Amino acid sequence: MGMQWEGKSFVENLPKIYGVYTGGFIAFFFLMAFFETLGMGADTIGILFVAFTIVIYAFIGILSRTMAVEAYYVAGRSVPPVFNGMATAADWMSGASFVAMAGGIFIAGHSYMAFIVGWTGGYILVATLMAPYLRKFGCYTVPDFIGTRYGGKLARFCAIVVLVVASFTYVTAQITATGTIAARAFQIPFEVGVWLGLAGILVCSMLGGMRAVTWTQVAQYIVLIFAYLIPIFWMSGTQGFGWLPQFMYGPAVERIMELEPIIGVGTAATESVPGLRILTALHATPKEGALAAWQFVTLVACMMIGTASLPHILMRYFTTPSVRAARNSVAWSLFFIFLLYFSAPALATFSKLQMIDPHLATSIIGKSIDEVMALTWIQKWGAIGLLAVKDGNMDGILQINEFFINPDIIVLATPEIAGLPYVISGLVAAGGMAAAMSTADGLLLAMANALSHDLYYKIIDPKAETRKRLLTARILLLVIGAGGALVASMKLTGILGAVAWAFCFAMSGLFFPLVLGVWWKRANRPGAIAGMVGGLAIGWWYLLAVRNPEAWYGIAKPWIGLDHLRFGIVGIVASLVCMVVVTLLTKAPDEETQRMVDEVRVPSGDTIIPSKA
């Protein structure tokens, strides 16, 4: 049965347990720093950091192994709010948040702030519209709620389809992030790195299910937040902007604005490099006009509503011991997420300054290309195709339009760009791996649980024994994980693009069936099915249309600026119209269901429907 990581005594000792864990991780960090002073190579340090953290997560997964259904699906519903908040934050702050977000701000400036605003604001929707009420229903998964609230196997099946489409799209982005980190740390091909990252993910989630993932994600949050913040404080202090970088990076932005006219920001690139971008203005102001404002607002809306529709996030609030704890968990989640999101613009700012300020020893713009190409970090990232230097002017001096970089490596490369000890790079790589692995754990578990619990147990074989159900869930984890790694290895899209699609899929199919299931007791089964099918189908059609305008889909160009990152707006409008119209044209739910919905909207008390193992 494994170590019993639950019960009152264990919960009371959680601060001590994770205090010891944090102290051990800090001790490992200083040990690696000491070995670096003795001459240990950078590649060895990177390998040890990533390997050490993966081993720790796997160890927690093994200790948390279980054959108890409730512990596997909902961690025994004994997770205190503060720790559930940390686990949710780790679950939420994916490779996109840790690896790609600051890189997007670094390259494109203002427009990428829509992701930060939307992702943070989404938790307001979760707290006010969903989390306490879903927890009160006493279900295991989002399809479980849909099936219980609306009744019937077809509604449950439709929710499973939406969940799998959204979650699989999202998990490929996380496995892409693990592949990028593993490729750099272990100096192996990206296609091999994705399988290495997947192996660590599966050990955490296969043995202990939600319980193992929960305790692993708490540990992963501790690693990723240390890894993200330390370089920011270090750069801010050494650049002379003080030791409160989140409040003091304004002068750094002003310094960048002074330098950009001198170094030639805005000049045309001499040639393009597939997958890479030239450095552009960090302080780029918003494009003017109603269409630009509309695009910013709609991207924020997609990220907000998508956040409140993601099954692996909503599933976290089924693990709390009470309805009140679910609400408190959202508040803690917001706090822990805020620590990273509030720091992302500062990281982008200081990293940009490190590269372009001639007064800093680490700057590269304006120096000889031979000198730049001799830098270790240029060579290492260039070797795996994520950075390039092209002497288009043939003058031997690196101009701003001759340096190409993949935005996804900005955070990972920042310690090297800033000339920090390589032990910091190892720490950041471990943090990025923690962020991607924690989200991938939650996503894979959400899909496997939905298929094993909601499809296999609830629809196909209601008499299945406990062992058979859990074995099915673990086999599905392997199959889905392998599929995600295979798709990620094909490099079909970037991290942020895949994440945006996942959010749009989730909101198109699930948002209104979930929200109206709580707040509109007249909502019925035919309406919910119509909302899920209509929203997902029309949203998917619109995505295909704007991505392939010359195909047969019938759209020559995006409607009112709704491009492929914003197709969820079309999907969610279709979902709402389909659900409301069909609901009003069909029979209302029975009195018992309507009384149940009334009771659910009281955000206190016991669960309405105790879950059955």
Q: What is the pLDDT of residue 488?
A: 84
Instruction: Report the candidate in 197, 163, 166, 165 with the shortest Cα–Cα distance to residue 180.
Output: 197
Residue 613 has pLDDT above 60, yes or no: no
Higher pLDDT, 357 or 603: 357
Q: What is the pLDDT of residue 292?
A: 80
Mean pLDDT of 578-588: 96
Higher pLDDT, 41 or 32: 32
pLDDT band at 4 (very low <50, low <70, confident <90, very high): very low
Mean pLDDT of 194-199: 81
Asked, for residue 439, whether it belongs to a domain, the answer is: yes
Degrees, nearest 5: CA angle 490-434-215: 125
Instruction: Report the candidate in 157, 390, 177, 107 with the shortest Cα–Cα distance to residue 269.
Output: 390
Asked, for residue 427, whether it belongs to a domain, the answer is: yes
Q: What is the pLDDT of residue 83?
A: 82
Mean pLDDT of 159-169: 90
pLDDT in tens, 261-309: 776 554 444 556 666 776 654 444 455 578 888 889 999 999 999 988 8
Q: What is the pLDDT of residue 3?
A: 44
pLDDT in tens, 274-283: 667 766 544 4
DSSP 55-122: HHHHHHHHHT----HHHHHHGGG---HHHHHHHHHHHHS-HIIIIIHHHHHHHHGGGGHHHHHHHHHH
Mean pLDDT of 537-553: 80
Asked, for residue 365, whether it belongs to a domain, the answer is: no
Where do we find the tokens 């690139």? 269
DSSP 339-401: HHHTTHHHHHHHHHHHHH-TTSTT--TTSBHHHHHTSHHHHHHHHTTSEEE--TTSSSB--GG
Asked, for residue 28, whether it belongs to a domain, the answer is: yes
To which H or E segment does residue 403 belong? strand 403-405
CATH number of the domain encompassing residue 490: 1.20.1730.10
Asked, for residue 531, whether it belongs to a domain, the answer is: yes
State how far the Cα of 406 lies from the Cα of 385, in Å rounded to an integer.
Answer: 9
C-alpha separations of 275 from 271, 272, 387, 407, 564 in Å: 13, 9, 9, 9, 18
Residue 559 has pLDDT above 80, yes or no: yes
Residue 210 has pLDDT above 80, yes or no: no
State how far the Cα of 263 lies from the Cα of 400, in Å rounded to an integer.
Answer: 7
Q: What is the pLDDT of residue 283?
A: 46
Residue 598 has pLDDT above 60, yes or no: yes
Mean pLDDT of 133-155: 80
Range of the domain at 90: 8-256+284-350+420-600
Asked, for residue 411, whether it belongs to a domain, the answer is: no
pLDDT in tens, 440-461: 877 887 787 777 777 777 777 7
Q: How do strand 387-389 and strand 277-278 relate by DSSP bridges?
A: unpaired
Residue 539 has pLDDT above 50, yes or no: yes
DSSP state of 613: -
Mean pLDDT of 593-606: 76
pLDDT in tens, 236-265: 998 888 888 888 888 888 888 888 777 655
Asked, for residue 3, whether it belongs to a domain, the answer is: no
In the chain, how many domains are there? 1
Mean pLDDT of 567-571: 95
pLDDT in tens, 347-401: 988 998 998 888 888 889 888 999 999 998 899 888 877 888 887 778 888 887 7
What's this model's pTM, rounded to 2 decimal places? 0.81
Residue 523 has pLDDT above 90, yes or no: yes
The rounded Cα 135 to chain-centroid distance in angstroms is 22
pLDDT band at 72 (very low <50, low <70, confident <90, very high): very low
Asked, for residue 530, whether it belongs to a domain, the answer is: yes
Query: Cβ distance 65 to 203 under 8 Å?
Result: no
Mean pLDDT of 559-563: 86
pLDDT in tens, 76-103: 445 677 888 888 888 777 777 888 888 8
Residue 600 has pLDDT above 80, yes or no: no
Query: To the nearest whole number, what is the mean pLDDT of the chain?
Result: 80
pLDDT band at 502 (very low <50, low <70, confident <90, very high): very high
